Amino acid sequence: MSDSATDCGECTEPRTALSEAEVEALVRGICFKTGPPRGIGVEVEWLVHELRRPQLPVTPERLDAAYAALRTVPLRSALTTEPGGQLELSSPPATSLMECIGTVSADLDAVRTALARLGLGLVGIGHDPWHPPRRFLRQPRYDAMEVALDRAGPAGRRMMCTSASVQVCLDAGYEEPGPLGHGRRWWLAHQLGAVLLAAFANSPLACGRPTGWRSTRQQTWMEIGAGRAGGPALNGDPRAAWARHVMDAPVMCVRREGGPWDVPDGLTFREWVRSKAPRAPTREDLDYHITTLFPPVRPRGFLELRMIDAQPGDDGWIVPLAVTTALFEDPEAAETAYRLVKPLAERSTGRPAPHNPLWTAAARDGLADPELHETAVGCFTAALEALPRTGATEQVTDAVAAYLERYVRRGRTPADDLLDRLRETSPRAHGKDPSS
């Protein structure tokens, strides 16, 4: 959500207007850059909490002080703030899995040290289990986003202010077909994405109560709606499908220098190009529009996989990064994953992710779903076999093996740990009167 597109007035100055053909050509060119898969990246989001009592909300003043202190810490990753005060680190592109892990691990150590001096820490949970949504950032982008998303209900504010994820970024792949071809990787990301969602579900609570979903974070994204948080249909050429999706998605805002930004209701980018009202859109407007779309797999020249909940523990984020990288970058593992997830495609009923029965089951049931459980065991096993071929260290393979045994083989996810902990500490679980 905290994309690097600037909010400055300079970007809203009138420039060359775009035609429909120019928009489609630009989207095709900038969103799928093909070539040998080499680059790996990760974006890790965290909830910021009180070290001693995580259930207490952190005041805006303390968050301001914390982020001011963090801006003085030398980091290789980009540090940004989400609307609710969540912290995000975005790694620079790495040429290997271990390079990516090394960079982000060092940066997280530095961030945690700086925060600890202020009595604050980071927690990896996909959805804040304690607090209702509360805006921390007051910027034109998020003011406009709040207005636009409020039209569909309260899910938008929850997404903005209470969610956190692990986003894995991988090259689009070769132009040619095959296990590492961009068409195969695009399809695989959407089918395997449901397995990753289920296997790493870690957000079953809101305001201290179970929501009925293993991934409340993903359920929130689904409630926002297909235009803003959905993907395109998978039939046909990925570039053409994404270009149509971008053109037919609703415009979140029309930026301007003075005063609040316009937030049109139901205006698609295609309609904006045709009508040229309230002004003609430019290349800068197109770039900005794309940053306001949040599908589970977003092509940004590379593929950004956005379906994984934030993970528990200081290093929990490494396991989804390692598993996903192995299943996409190792040709043998990619072929195995393709074969394993292919039967799942029927459950999507031809509807785009995440608004289809397969993704709904993954978010609601996690690995309690028998078919997702069986597929996850096969995919994790293939990833574990492939990791040494990617150069992963024994420490990383051991972490993946431990996750496979603790959660995947048992049909569990970190969400089940949170639910078990709630049952253990709940007054009713101990036979106590909760009003006493």
Residue 338 confidence (pLDDT) above 90: yes
Quick one: CA dihedral 421, 425, 429, 434, positive or negative? negative
Structure confidence by residue, pLDDT tens digits, 344-355:
999 999 999 999
Calculate mean pLDDT across residues 292-297.
98
Structure confidence by residue, pLDDT tens digits, 239-266:
999 999 999 999 999 998 877 799 999 9
Residue 282 confidence (pLDDT) above 50: yes
The Cα 234–Cα 350 span in angstroms is: 8
Arithmetic mean of pLDDT over the chain: 93
pLDDT of 427: 56
SS3 250: strand
Structure confidence by residue, pLDDT tens digits, 196-225:
999 999 999 999 999 999 999 999 999 999
Q: How confident is the model at residue 426 (pLDDT cuts 50, 70, 90)?
A: confident
Helix (H) or strand (E) holding 425: helix 414-425
> Considering only CA atoms, which of 114, 38, 27 is closest in space to residue 69?
114
Residue 336 confidence (pLDDT) above 90: yes
Question: Could you give the C-alpha distances from 215 to 164, 254, 297, 360, 405, in angstroms and in order?
Answer: 11, 33, 17, 10, 21
Place of tokens 């009138």: 14
The Cα 9–Cα 7 span in angstroms is: 7
Structure confidence by residue, pLDDT tens digits, 4-55:
444 433 343 446 789 999 999 999 988 988 887 789 999 999 999 999 888 8
The Cα 186–Cα 190 span in angstroms is: 7
Name, in order, each residue with C-beta under 8 angstroms of 253's C-beta and a sequence gap of 6 or more.
Answer: 140, 141, 144, 145, 148, 261, 262, 263, 264, 292
DSSP of 282-300? BHHHHHHHHHT---SEEES
Residue 409 confidence (pLDDT) above 80: yes
Place of tokens 């921390």: 136
Quote the crossing angle between the two packed helices 60-70 and 97-116, to the nearest 10°.
130
Residue 297 confidence (pLDDT) above 60: yes
Question: Could you give the C-alpha distances from 119 to 48, 70, 74, 106, in angstroms and in order?
Answer: 11, 14, 20, 20
Quote the crossing angle between the two packed helices 370-386 and 331-341, to the nearest 10°.
170
pLDDT of 56: 86
